[in-house]
Every structure is written in structure tokens, then in C-alpha cells.
């Protein structure tokens, strides 16, 4: 079989795998939005069967034979090189995992999601602990299959979300900014800003109208995507022209819901941009890594939509929609309230300065769970103790603490570090935009156009780190993020 024939077949198999992934995404979307409680077991079986079919193709003999014939270094096509790289990486990982384990993880995650929703609502960890223990055991078994003598269990899981990054390297990056971030939070949490007006009742219809207008200006195409409500905001790709985001309106501040919409909108722009090119319908039509994906959601959520310049443009519209709630609140007061630094229990509601501390907490706990030095039964206490060390107080309830995030219910250990890595990638890309392109934060159309060209349309042609380096021309430097925060908040608060 010639090289081009082999690649054509490889691409066909890849597109088949993406189709199965999209079908699974549709079933998961349905589960997280409207699925009836009694349908969970059958939905778990459906998702488990799909995962098994996908695993059979991705790790099958035909895939192995095609990859043996193909050498990415012999192709002059960047597209071909990247697809071969990704399919080889997935083939090698999945060949190490038995199909029964793959199915068990998917089915267990679907069931654990429902018990997490129930436990979070009741603020009762015991309703979730048994299913979580199952997912931890499955994650440990998965990591054991994937790891080798030169890597830790956590390395094996982290590689699924951030290719080319080791646990040690991530820990070094985080350690380099942990104290500066803690010091900054200590300094700016003392700045007294009245933000009580943000916690008044804001009609949901008005919130939706405002968020949708901003999303449209950012480039979110509502003919290719939609927005709904869920317990935990998320983005999913059902098809190249069916990219869905969710938000929620149960948070105490109107800005929490708005930030969720913009955050998920950033993810969606990445998916839409990558699906508009030759990459469409392949494994390359998505983010370069989870960290790079998060860089875009965090960039839009914080660096753009919490900036003074952004609100110079949008505050007149916002105050017109909500005249009673914003009565007597000037632009400067509003911007400082939006950026108020605090010590909230809830990660997704955290200000951009303290946010990464939440990730450092989870990063440490995940490693301990995988290593077996922390049991699931000990997790709530360990969470509260470490949270108190970082923030100075303990969560009042389990829902505000160990139960607040959805990720562990699906077994996504190794995912959390990518949020903080996203802050680091995003800060460097933002510095490049500011220093070399001169785009103001209120020019959301211009920013979107540039990011579409520089990041989104490149999809997963490179790893996350290489994508950031190709955009900025610089290696990853964590101090760019802390410098950005120092400059922004000293400008806002003095």
C-alpha cells in the first residue's frame, strides 16, 4: 500500500472515531441537561458501548498496520504529520488499556455523575463517596496501564490532557508563582469595594440578552451553536456546526453567570475556528491541548471581559438593561467591583487573581489520591485543611468544598492543572496582543479575528506548548502571568 493510500485510510478511520466521539457528546449533553433520573443506567450502557467501539478502532490491528506504513517525517504536509502523530499517540496509549477497563471507566463516570449531582444538591459527600472511590480505582488502574518506569501514575493521566508536560514540570511552574499569587491576594483582598449591587436580583432574560450580544460580537455563530443551562457550565462539540455551551443562573453575582457564558464562549470560538478549515471532522479540529483551550476561555473571561476598556463599551448597554440594579453606580465603581479580589470557596466564581490557588489545591489532592497516600474517605477533611491553609478559612458545606466540581465524577484526573496552565498560556498570548498588535480589550471583533487566525484555525496541528510558542515567539514563562496581574490591579486599585 502506498503512503497516500495508507494516509487516506488513516484519515477515514480518524473521521469515524470523531463521529463516534460526537455521538457520545450528544448523549452526554442530554444527560447533563434533560435526562430523567431513572434513565442513567441505560445511558451509562450506551456510552460504555460507544467507548468500546471507539477503542476497538483506535487500537485495532488495521490502525497499527497503517501507522507502521506511515512516517510523519516523510510527509511534507503539516496536516498529515499532525494526524499521524495524534493517531500514533492514541494507538500506543489505547493498546495498553483493555477494552473492559475503557468501558468500565465510561459507564462508571456516567453513573458517578448522577450521584455527584445528588450529593452536591444535598451537600452530602457520603452520597458520592462510593462512586468516587470506584472512579479513583479505575483511574489508578488506567494510569498503571499507561505509565512506564520513567513516569509516575499522575504523569500518565496528565499526558492525556497536556501532551509533553510532566507532573514535575507543572509543579515547578506552579511553585514559582504560588507565593507571589498568595501575596497579591493578601494585598488586594484588603481593598474594600462595594460589590453588593452585583448580588441583587437580575432578570434572567436580560442576562441572556446581554451575554448573547457579547458572544455575537466575539464571533460566536448562533447558526452553528447554542447556549443552555446546566448544573456545571461546560462546552461540547456535537458536530462541526453544532457547538454547544451552557451557563447557570444560580450563582450569587450576576457577573458569575456572565463570566461563565464568556468563558464557555471562548472554548466554543476555538472549536468553531478549528472546524472551519481542512481540519473539519478530524481529530485535529479542536484545541491543541486542554491547557491551550483553557487559555482562550480564561483570556476572554478575564483579560478581555473584566477590563476597564471592555466596560467602557458595554456598561451603557448593561446599565440600560438593569437600570434599578446599577442606579448610582459609575463606570469606575462597576469595574472595580467586577474585579474585586476575595476568598471565595467556589472555583468558577473566583476572581482571576485567586483562581489558580484553587487549582493548586486540586492538583495536590489528585496526586495524593492516585498515589494512595490519601483515601476517598479522608478527602473532605484534606480538602478543608488545605483550603484553610491557602485561603484562611474552611468551606461551610461540602457543596462549597469537595463536592463543587464535576470533573472527578467522570474520572478526569489530570485535567485540573490545565486550568492554571491556561492562565499562563493566556497571559503570554495576551501580552503579545497588547505589546505587538495594539488591540484594545474593547475591540472584541479585532481580538477574535486575530485569535481565529493565530490559534483557532491551527487546531491541534501542534501541541499546546508549541502553539503558544509559535504565537508569541517565547518559551512558557509563568512570571508573565503574575506581572500581568500586578500591572492590572495596581492600575485599578492603586
Give me the active site residues, please. Answer: 264
Report residue 98: phi and psi, to 5°.
Answer: -65, 150
* CA–CA gap between residue 340 and residue 255 (Å, rounded): 11
Cell of 148: 512506564
CB-facing half-sphere around the CA of 243: CA atoms within 13 A: 26
Is the CB of residue 107 less than 8 Å from the CB of residue 411? no
Cβ atoms of 69 and 3 within 8 Å: the answer is: yes
**Cβ pair 185, 354 in contact under 8 A:** yes
C-alpha grid cell, residue 483: 506581572
Q: What's the CA gap between 144 and 119, in Å, rounded?
A: 29
Asked if 140 and 376 touch (Cβ cutoff 8 Å), the reply is: no
Locate 218 and state its grid cell: 466575539
What is the C-alpha R_g of the chain? 22
Q: Among candidates 309, 96, 319, 116, which has minimal Cα distance to 202?
A: 319
222: which 3 cell numbers?
A: 448562533
Residue 155's Cβ-side half-sphere holds a number of Cα atoms within 13 Å equal to: 13
Beta strand pairing call for 242-247 and 225-229? parallel
Cα separation, 86 vs 90, in Å, equals: 6
Nearby residues of 65 by Cβ (< 8 Å), 6 or more positions away: none
Amino acid at each position: 500500500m502506498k503512503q497516500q493510500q495508507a494516509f487516506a485510510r488513516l484519515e477515514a478511520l480518524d473521521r469515524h472515531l470523531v463521529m463516534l466521539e460526537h455521538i457520545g457528546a450528544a448523549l452526554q449533553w442530554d444527560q447533563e441537561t434533560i435526562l430523567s433520573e431513572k434513565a442513567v443506567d441505560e445511558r451509562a450502557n450506551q456510552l460504555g458501548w460507544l467507548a468500546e467501539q471507539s477503542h476497538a478502532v483506535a487500537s485495532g490491528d488495521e490502525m497499527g498496520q497503517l501507522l507502521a506504513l506511515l512516517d510523519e517525517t516523510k510527509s511534507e504536509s503539516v496536516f498529515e504529520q499532525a494526524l499521524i502523530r495524534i493517531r500514533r499517540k492514541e494507538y500506543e496509549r489505547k493498546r495498553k488499556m483493555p477494552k473492559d477497563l475503557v468501558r468500565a471507566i465510561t459507564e462508571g463516570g456516567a453513573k458517578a455523575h448522577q450521584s455527584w449531582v445528588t450529593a452536591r444538591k444535598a451537600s452530602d459527600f457520603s452520597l458520592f463517596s462510593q462512586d468516587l472511590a470506584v472512579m479513583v480505582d479505575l483511574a489508578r488502574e488506567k494510569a498503571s496501564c499507561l505509565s512506564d518506569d520513567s513516569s509516575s501514575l499522575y504523569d500518565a493521566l496528565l499526558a492525556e490532557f497536556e501532551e509533553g508536560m510532566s507532573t514535575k514540570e507543572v509543579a515547578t511552574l506552579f511553585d514559582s508563582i504560588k507565593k507571589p499569587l498568595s501575596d497579591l491576594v493578601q494585598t488586594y483582598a484588603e481593598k474594600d469595594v462595594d460589590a453588593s449591587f452585583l448580588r441583587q436580583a437580575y432578570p434572567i432574560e436580560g442576562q441572556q440578552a446581554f451575554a448573547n450580544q457579547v458572544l455575537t460580537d466575539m464571533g460566536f455563530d448562533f447558526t452553528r451553536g447554542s447556549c443552555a443551562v446546566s448544573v456545571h457550565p461546560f462546552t461540547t462539540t456535537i458536530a462541526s456546526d453544532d457547538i454547544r455551551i451552557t451557563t447557570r443562573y444560580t450563582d450569587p453575582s450576576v457577573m458569575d453567570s456572565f463570566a461563565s457564558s464568556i468563558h464557555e464562549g471562548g472554548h466554543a470560538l476555538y472549536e468553531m475556528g478549528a472546524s472551519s478549515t481542512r481540519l473539519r471532522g478530524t481529530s485535529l479540529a479542536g484545541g491543541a491541548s486542554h491547557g491551550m483551550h483553557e487559555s482562550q476561555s480564561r483570556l476572554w473571561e478575564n483579560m478581555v471581559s473584566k477590563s476597564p476598556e471592555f466596560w467602557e463599551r458595554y456598561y451603557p448597554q448593561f446599565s440600560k438593561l438593569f437600570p434599578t440594579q446599577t442606579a448610582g453606580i459609575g463606570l469606575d465603581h462597576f469595574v472595580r467591583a467586577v474585579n474585586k479580589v476575595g476568598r471565595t470557596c467556589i472555583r468558577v466564581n473566583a476572581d482571576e487573581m485567586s483562581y489558580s490557588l484553587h487549582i493548586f489545591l486540586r492538583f495536590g489532592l489528585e496526586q495524593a489520591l492516585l498515589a494512595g497516600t490519601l483515601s476517598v474517605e479522608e478527602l473532605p477533611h484534606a480538602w478543608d485543611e488545605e483550603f484553610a491553609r491557602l485561603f484562611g478559612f474552611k468551606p461551610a458545606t461540602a457543596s462549597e468544598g469537595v463536592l463543587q466540581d464535576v470533573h472527578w465524577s467522570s474520572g478526569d484526573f489530570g485535567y485540573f492543572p490545565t486550568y492554571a496552565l491556561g492562565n499562563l498560556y493566556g497571559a503570554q498570548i495576551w501580552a503579545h496582543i497588547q505589546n505587538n498588535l495594539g488591540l484594545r480589550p474593547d475591540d472584541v471583533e479585532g481580538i477574535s479575528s486575530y485569535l481565529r487566525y493565530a490559534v483557532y484555525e491551527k487546531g491541534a496541528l501542534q501541541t499546546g506548548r508549541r502553539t503558544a510558542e509559535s504565537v508569541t515567539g517565547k518559551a512558557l514563562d509563568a512570571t508573565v502571568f503574575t506581572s500581568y496581574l500586578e500591572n492590572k490591579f495596581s492600575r485599578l486599585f492603586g
